[in-house]
């Protein structure tokens, strides 16, 4: 990509079923995750400093993927939460600690001020406790967490965005 002078990726990798690693160069400022839909062999994604936006609501890997590792750079701004809901091997987000927009706590991704839960890894979990102080659960955060039975909500919570618990078929307790 870098040698081509690309600044964004447009549907060039969708359905590359044998792709195992994606190293997105710093020249890419925006990526639409629709570009890697159906890349179910993908295990590692490396985004470099310079990437500012991740967009797309078709969800990163629309079938059970084997993504194990994703590195998010300090230049990246918050993105839609349900993007990695089929990534059954992803247990935590790796975020550059100098990112001024987001932070990771117990593997999950929050806004830097801890007011919004953005994304939760490990769609096979049965329980999740949202950090105290969180005011909002972002869109699609628990989408298709079919094993999820219980979520502990903080007293600070005031807003749950669109489809945050869609297809949580075993959810019994909030």
**Cβ 34 vs Cβ 61: under 8 Å:** no
Mean pLDDT by 10 residues, the chain (174 residues): 43 64 86 72 86 72 68 91 77 93 94 96 92 95 92 98 93 95
**Cβ 59 vs Cβ 80: under 8 Å:** no
The pLDDT score that the predictor gives to residue 104 is: 95
The pLDDT score that the predictor gives to residue 64 is: 57
The pLDDT score that the predictor gives to residue 15 is: 58
The DSSP string of 71-97 is: EE-TTPPP--GGGGTTBTT----EE-T
The pLDDT score that the predictor gives to residue 79 is: 82
66/156 Cα distance (integer angstroms): 34
């Amino acid at each position: 990509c870098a040698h081509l002078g690309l600044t964004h990726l447009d549907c060039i990798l969708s359905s590359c079923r044998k792709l195992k690693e994606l190293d997105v160069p710093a020249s890419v400022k925006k990526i639409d995750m629709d570009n890697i839909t159906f890349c179910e062999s993908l295990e590692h994604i490396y985004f470099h400093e310079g990437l500012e936006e991740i967009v797309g609501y078709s969800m990163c890997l629309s079938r059970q993927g084997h993504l194990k590792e994703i590195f998010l750079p300090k230049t990246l701004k918050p993105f839609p939460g349900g993007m990695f809901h089929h990534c059954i091997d992803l247990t935590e987000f790796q975020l550059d600690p100098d990112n001024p927009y987001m932070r990771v706590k117990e593997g999950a991704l929050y806004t830097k001020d801890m007011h919004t839960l953005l994304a939760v890894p490990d769609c096979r979990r049965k329980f999740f406790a949202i950090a105290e102080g969180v005011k909002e659960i972002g869109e699609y955060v628990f989408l298709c967490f079919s094993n999820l039975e219980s979520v502990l909500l903080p007293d600070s919570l005031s807003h749950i965005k669109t489809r945050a618990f869609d297809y949580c078929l075993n959810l019994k307790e909030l």
